[in-house]
């Protein structure tokens, strides 16, 4: 397997974005002259965070000098850092990505550097020869990351949603969903292992689908080829990917219960994010890979008809929805890849907004102690019997002198 579908470029920002982009650049193929087929440009303010990124020969690191201490989750600082280095970054992009078929702008939403730079970086790609050749990979924060992070993500999603029709596809990575999935299988794992496995999974998924378009032998009339994958990536809106891997011996073509339910689960939940209205898809495709013997046994007219009907049910208005089958001696399990393009934002975005709302502290909750403190009257233990004294008891006695440097002088 040495043929490559599309030549990807990855432009990553911030710790999250550079980590994913670097994992993508680290993908290796078993060929002499194209062992690491993808190129990455890694950009960050924080030099310490950049040093955490392992060396990769096909990834170029770029520190936004003058902002080396980081953006401290301030998106204005992130945007300013990008604009300060804009001309140099344009030169780097043209130098590194001129031969690339498609560029992924990779950002972890919620922080300062990537979240602050993403809009301006998209403008740079759009205006400097990459119009129609780039899309976005955006990670969505977990609820536990706090209000500042959630609000930063919301602010940028608001702008991106307005501009979606002018952009290529947007692949959303829901860290909340991925973390919960990882936790179920690896409760004793750590955050570093979780992030590493997630980054590698994203890289492998994008590479796998790219290889499907150019490396395997179709066994039916349809082939999900390079041009169709590129068309998917160029489709405005959200792109959703599903993946199911089954033992061939467990699949009975005449019993849809042995494969259909698991395939539907991978589509409806999504492997990177879920909660989409699939009926809004402009395009979708299904690719099935198996060994030559498995393909001959499983890919019957009955099975293909079942899958075609299911795709029709999911996306009745899609312009294209091929079901492509492949048999290859390099495959020893049944792999089912699904792609839906042109979707609207998922339910998870609504959940992020709701999570942010819940983190707004009410006045009562914030100031309860202060209110009680200020309203409490301390008695000196003596009783006032004089009516005139009672009537004047709330009058305030002015201090004899005022000190302008005294923080309490105006209270």
Domain boundary among 317, 341, 357: 357
For 281, residues 6+ apart whose C-beta sits below 8 A from its C-beta are 314, 315, 317, 318, 340, 341, 342, 343
Does one domain contain both 94 and 190? yes
CA distances from 30 to 36, 125, 330 (A): 9, 31, 12
Helix (H) or strand (E) holding 167: none
Predicted pLDDT of residue 392: 54
- Tell me, yes or no, whether 320 lies in a domain: yes
Predicted pLDDT of residue 69: 85
- Tell me, yes or no, whether 334 lies in a domain: yes
Residue 4 clears pLDDT 70, i.e. is over it: yes
Average pLDDT for the chain: 88
Model confidence at 273, in pLDDT bands (50, 70, 90)?
very high
Q: Is 390 exposed, middle or buried (0-12, 13-18, 19+ CB in 10 A)?
A: exposed
> Residue 69 belongs to what domain range?
1-215
Does one domain contain both 245 and 210? no
Question: Model confidence over 20-69: pLDDT tens digits?
Answer: 999 999 999 877 667 889 999 999 999 999 999 999 999 999 999 999 88
- Tell me, yes or no, whether 398 lies in a domain: no
- Tell me, yes or no, whether 347 lies in a domain: yes
Half-sphere exposure of 389 (CA within 13 A, CB side): 5
The residue to which tokens 């009907």 are assigned: 309
Residue 1 clears pLDDT 70, i.e. is over it: no
Does one domain contain both 54 and 134? yes
Does one domain contain both 171 and 38? yes
Does one domain contain both 61 and 138? yes
Does one domain contain both 246 and 194? no
Does one domain contain both 38 and 98? yes
Question: Model confidence over 76-116: pLDDT tens digits?
Answer: 999 999 999 999 999 999 999 999 999 999 999 999 999 99
Does one domain contain both 172 and 211? yes
Domain boundary among 340, 357, 374: 357
Residue 372 three-state SS: helix
- Tell me, yes or no, whether 210 lies in a domain: yes
- Tell me, yes or no, whether 379 lies in a domain: no
Question: Model confidence over 179-210: pLDDT tens digits?
Answer: 999 999 888 888 888 999 999 999 999 999 99
Question: Model confidence over 362-395: pLDDT tens digits?
Answer: 544 556 676 767 777 776 555 545 545 544 544 4
Domain boundary among 342, 357, 372: 357
- Number of structural domains the chain divides into: 2
Does one domain contain both 201 and 253? no
Question: Model confidence over 348-365: pLDDT tens digits?
Answer: 999 999 999 988 865 445
Predicted pLDDT of residue 375: 76
- Tell me, yes or no, whether 375 lies in a domain: no
Does one domain contain both 163 and 297? no
Half-sphere exposure of 181 (CA within 13 A, CB side): 17
- pTM of the shown model: 0.86
Does one domain contain both 173 and 250? no
Question: Model confidence over 301-341: pLDDT tens digits?
Answer: 999 999 999 999 999 999 989 999 999 998 999 999 999 99
- Tell me, yes or no, whether 372 lies in a domain: no
């Amino acid at each position: 397997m040495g043929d490559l579908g599309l030549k990807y470029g990855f432009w990553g920002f911030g710790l999250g974005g550079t980590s994913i982009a670097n994992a993508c650049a680290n993908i290796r193929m078993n060929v002499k002259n194209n062992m690491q087929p993808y190129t990455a440009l890694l950009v960050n303010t924080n030099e310490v965070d950049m040093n955490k990124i392992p060396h990769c020969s096909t990834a170029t690191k770029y520190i936004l000098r003058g902002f080396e201490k980081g953006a401290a989750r301030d998106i204005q600082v992130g945007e300013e850092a990008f604009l300060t280095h804009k001309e140099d970054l344009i030169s780097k992009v043209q130098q590194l990505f001129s031969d690339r078929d498609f560029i992924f702008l990779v950002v972890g939403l919620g922080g300062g550097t990537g979240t602050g730079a993403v809009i301006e970086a998209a403008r740079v790609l759009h205006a400097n020869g990459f119009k129609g050749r780039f899309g976005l990979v955006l990670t969505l924060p977990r609820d536990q990351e706090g209000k500042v992070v959630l609000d930063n993500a919301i602010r940028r999603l608001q702008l991106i949603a307005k501009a979606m029709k002018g952009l290529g596809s947007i692949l959303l990575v829901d860290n909340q969903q991925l973390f919960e999935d990882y936790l179920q299988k690896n409760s004793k794992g750590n955050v570093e292992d979780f992030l590493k496995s997630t980054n590698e999974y994203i890289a492998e998924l994008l590479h796998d689908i790219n290889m499907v378009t150019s490396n395997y032998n179709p066994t039916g009339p349809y082939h999900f080829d390079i041009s169709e994958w590129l068309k998917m990536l160029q489709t405005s809106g959200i792109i959703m990917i599903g993946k199911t891997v089954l033992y061939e011996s467990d699949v009975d073509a005449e019993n849809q219960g042995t494969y259909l339910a698991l395939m539907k689960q991978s589509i409806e939940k999504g492997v990177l994010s879920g909660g989409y209205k699939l009926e809004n898809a402009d395009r979708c495709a299904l690719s099935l890979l198996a060994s030559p013997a498995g393909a001959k046994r499983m890919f019957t007219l009955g099975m293909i008809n079942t899958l075609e009907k299911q795709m029709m049910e999911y996306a009745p208005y899609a312009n294209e929805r091929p079901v492509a089958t492949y048999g290859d001696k390099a495959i020893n399990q049944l792999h089912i890849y699904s792609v839906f393009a042109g979707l609207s934002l998922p339910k998870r975005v609504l959940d992020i907004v709701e999570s942010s709302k819940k983190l707004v502290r009410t006045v009562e909750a914030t100031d309860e102690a202060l209110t009680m403190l200020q309203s409490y009257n301390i008695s000196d233990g003596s009783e006032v019997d004089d009516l005139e004294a009672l009537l004047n008891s709330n009058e305030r006695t002015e201090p004899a002198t005022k000190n302008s440097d005294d923080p309490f002088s105006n209270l």
